């Protein structure tokens, strides 16, 4: 039950209250009323005159008075409500279209707002930090209750920020969502501040932005054609700088593609190393350091199974061991204390397949029946199955099909062979599989003396089988050094060499770089890069996840612009 007490302010109390109220609010305190958890201040505006919002002329002619209620910052654990006695004024200008207007409260609150400016700002700060839903929950905890949708509309109304046009602009694309896959983020590289988030990543999007923001002098970008054309057409005077990291990434992709075309040679080299490890031709050079001091190629480690998964796998194994010993189902059940269904399920499963429940079912799930049928017909090439699904309108990636199928046991009678390489590689756990183009690229981009003996031997075997690859290796290493050490004078000779190399992919890469030579050159002479932009994209992804992946672009944009 609420009890109510009314106090008349003494001088000291009035002083305290004034001190707690917003500064320059021009309020005279009349009453303080409090109920548990809530304080109400009855105040009167003391502004001497009213100023017409249309003609801006001051007037003292009062039309009428009314009460306005404003929510303010809480006092301790109490919500604070201001009941302000305000006036309506009659405009002093006869010709003014506004005859009567309400009193403006200046720095206290906006016209017709239900919250004081300082409460609004506190709520907005919450919104920018944690979003609408969580902001609403936090507001409740901190005695500033607000609904999530009200907070969101407050953020939309007050969130627009304008920035001066950057002199040095970093631009990159980012993944938005299924319907609008890509967006463009623009970052002021000098101020370390994202300045805009645009939908789409094509030429038009950036051109439009550049046309309405004159004054950019330098653009740092990746090698995508969209941004290049946009910069050339909408702002031809702007100096373009390619990003060094993206250049190295592109080179890596080129080498990987080239190697993928020679997968048989890669496999053969692996086989030779295996067969001839004892032979001197593949022995490590004598000057070699002990293995411990050498660099190891990075490996994509399979993630460790969760305790639950590990337990399931152990149980699956024990069920099969007991069955192999001739134990009946009932005996296995009583021995392992498992449910009857579980034991049956494990017995049907030659290899353990986890049926984990993902909150987002795989996009491949609708095709399960088709895949099962094909699998049992013996089609275990994941790439082939992926192509077949594409023929049926599947739009997901190869990776999603691979993830879906990777734990499926091979059909009976089928042994892992090179005809099902992806599965074969997975079933031969621990055995050294053919190095992937990705891994071989890494081996080629390092000097033999930097590698472990086993890797150096593989590298040597590979170059022995395909001598041209040493030119690919040398060109790759030189390009990495050229970029890292910013040797701009070495660029032109490198391009000439690359254009004359026997690998078509690399030739194309060189021709492409030549076409935008000034931008590549600038990558080596200018300090700018899109590294900062990548950082902003990471932050953006974090915000997007916080918004449960269903972020509207406008809100996401505002939050990104406020987060920095």
Write out the residues near Zn ion by the rule CB under 5 A.
52, 54-55, 91, 93, 96, 98
For residues 61 and 233, which CB has a smaller minimum distance to Zn ion in the complex? 61
Phi, psi angle pair for 332, to nearest 5°: -65, -45
Contacts of 260-267 with CB under 8 Å at 24 or more apart are 260/437, 262/466, 262/469, 263/434, 263/437, 265/462, 265/465, 265/466, 265/469, 266/434, 266/435, 266/437, 266/440, 266/462, 267/418, 267/434
State both tokens at 91: 């405009």
- Alpha carbon distance 27, 108 (integer Å): 10
For residues 95 and 358, which CB has a smaller minimum distance to Zn ion in the complex? 95
For residues 101 and 367, which CB has a smaller minimum distance to Zn ion in the complex? 101
Place of tokens 């295996």: 274
For residues 51 and 81, which CB has a smaller minimum distance to Zn ion in the complex? 51
The least CB distance from residue 93 to Zn ion, in Å, is: 5
Helix (H, G, I), strand (E, B) or coil at 381: coil
* CB atoms inside a 10 Å sphere around CB 255: 27
- Alpha carbon distance 264, 133 (integer Å): 55
CB of 243 closer than 8 Å to CB of 523: yes
For residues 96 and 313, which CB has a smaller minimum distance to Zn ion in the complex? 96
Q: How far is CA 7 from the centre of its chain?
A: 55
The least CB distance from residue 17 to Zn ion, in Å, is: 34
Residues 6 or more apart whose Cβ sits within 8 Å of residue 537? 172, 174, 185
The least CB distance from residue 102 to Zn ion, in Å, is: 13
The least CB distance from residue 92 to Zn ion, in Å, is: 7
DSSP class of 279:
S
The least CB distance from residue 54 to Zn ion, in Å, is: 4
The least CB distance from residue 172 to Zn ion, in Å, is: 51
The least CB distance from residue 99 to Zn ion, in Å, is: 8
The least CB distance from residue 86 to Zn ion, in Å, is: 18
CB of 22 closer than 8 Å to CB of 118: yes
| Spatial CA neighbour of 327 closest among 351, 345, 343, 311 | 343
Partnered with residue 169 across adjacent β-strands are: 188, 219
For residues 12 and 95, which CB has a smaller minimum distance to Zn ion in the complex? 95
State both tokens at 13: 């109390």
For residues 101 and 394, which CB has a smaller minimum distance to Zn ion in the complex? 101
For residues 54 and 310, which CB has a smaller minimum distance to Zn ion in the complex? 54
| Spatial CA neighbour of 266 closest among 448, 444, 416 | 444
For residues 5 and 95, which CB has a smaller minimum distance to Zn ion in the complex? 95
Residues 6 or more apart whose Cβ sits within 8 Å of residue 35? 2, 3, 4
For residues 53 and 350, which CB has a smaller minimum distance to Zn ion in the complex? 53
| Spatial CA neighbour of 448 closest among 477, 486, 479 | 477
For residues 52 and 472, which CB has a smaller minimum distance to Zn ion in the complex? 52
The least CB distance from residue 88 to Zn ion, in Å, is: 13
User: Cα dihedral sign for 113, 115, 121, 127?
Assistant: negative
For residues 55 and 130, which CB has a smaller minimum distance to Zn ion in the complex? 55
CA atoms within 13 A on the CB side of 442: 13
CB of 218 closer than 8 Å to CB of 525: no
- Alpha helix (H) residue ranges in 349-467: 368-376, 382-391, 398-405, 421-427, 437-444, 453-465
């Amino acid at each position: 039950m609420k009890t109510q007490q009314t106090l008349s302010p003494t001088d000291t109390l009035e002083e305290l209250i004034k001190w707690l109220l917003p500064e320059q609010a021009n309020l005279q305190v009349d009453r303080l009323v409090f109920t548990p958890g809530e304080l109400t201040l009855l105040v009167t505006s003391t502004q001497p005159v009213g100023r017409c919002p249309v003609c801006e002329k001051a007037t003292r002619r009062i039309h009428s008075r009314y009460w306005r209620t404003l929510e303010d910052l809480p006092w301790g654990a109490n919500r604070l409500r201001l009941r302000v006695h305000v006036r309506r004024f009659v405009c002093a200008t006869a010709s003014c279209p506004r005859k009567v207007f309400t009193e403006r409260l200046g720095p206290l609150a906006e016209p017709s707002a239900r919250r004081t400016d300082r409460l609004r700002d506190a709520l907005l700060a919450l919104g920018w930090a944690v979003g609408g839903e969580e902001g609403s929950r936090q507001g409740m905890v901190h005695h500033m209750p607000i609904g999530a949708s009200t907070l969101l509309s407050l953020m939309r109304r007050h969130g627009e920020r304008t920035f001066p046009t950057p002199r040095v602009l970093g631009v990159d694309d980012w993944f938005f969502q299924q319907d609008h896959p890509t967006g463009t983020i623009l970052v002021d590289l000098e101020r370390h501040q994202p300045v805009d988030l645009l939908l789409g990543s094509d030429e038009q999007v950036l051109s439009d932005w550049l046309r309405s923001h004159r004054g950019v002098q330098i653009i740092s970008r990746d090698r995508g054609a969209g941004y290049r054309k946009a910069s050339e057409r909408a702002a031809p005077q702007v100096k373009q700088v390619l990003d060094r990291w993206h250049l190295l990434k592109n080179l890596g992709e080129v080498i990987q593609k080239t190697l993928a075309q020679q997968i048989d040679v890669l496999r053969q080299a692996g086989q030779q190393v295996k067969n001839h490890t004892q032979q001197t031709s593949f022995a490590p050079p004598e000057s070699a350091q002990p293995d411990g001091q050498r660099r190891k190629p990075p490996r994509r480690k399979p993630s460790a199974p969760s305790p639950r998964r590990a337990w399931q796998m152990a149980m699956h194994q024990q069920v099969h061991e007991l069955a192999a010993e001739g134990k009946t189902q009932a005996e296995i059940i009583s021995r392992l204390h498992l449910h009857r269904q579980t034991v049956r399920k494990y017995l049907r499963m030659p290899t353990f397949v986890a049926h984990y429940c993902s909150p987002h079912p795989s996009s491949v799930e609708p095709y399960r029946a088709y895949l099962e049928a094909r699998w049992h017909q013996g089609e275990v090439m994941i790439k082939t199955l992926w192509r077949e699904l594409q023929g049926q309108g599947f739009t997901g990636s190869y990776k999603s099909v691979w993830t879906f199928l990777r734990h499926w046991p091979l059909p009976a009678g089928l042994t892992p062979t090179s005809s099902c390489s992806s599965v074969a590689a997975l079933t031969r756990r621990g055995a050294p599989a053919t190095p992937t183009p990705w891994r071989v690229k890494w081996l080629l981009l390092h000097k033999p003396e930097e590698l472990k003996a086993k890797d150096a031997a593989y590298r040597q075997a590979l170059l022995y089988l395909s001598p041209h690859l040493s030119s690919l290796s040398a060109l790759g290493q030189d390009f990495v050094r050229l970029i890292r050490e910013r040797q701009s004078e070495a660029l032109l000779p490198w391009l000439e060499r690359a254009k004359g190399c026997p690998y078509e992919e690399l030739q194309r890469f060189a021709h492409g770089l030549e076409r935008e030579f000034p931008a590549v050159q600038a990558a080596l002479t200018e300090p700018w890069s899109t590294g900062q932009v990548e950082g902003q994209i990471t932050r953006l992804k974090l915000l997007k996840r916080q918004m449960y992946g269903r972020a509207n672009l406008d809100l996401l944009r505002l939050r990104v612009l406020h987060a920095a």
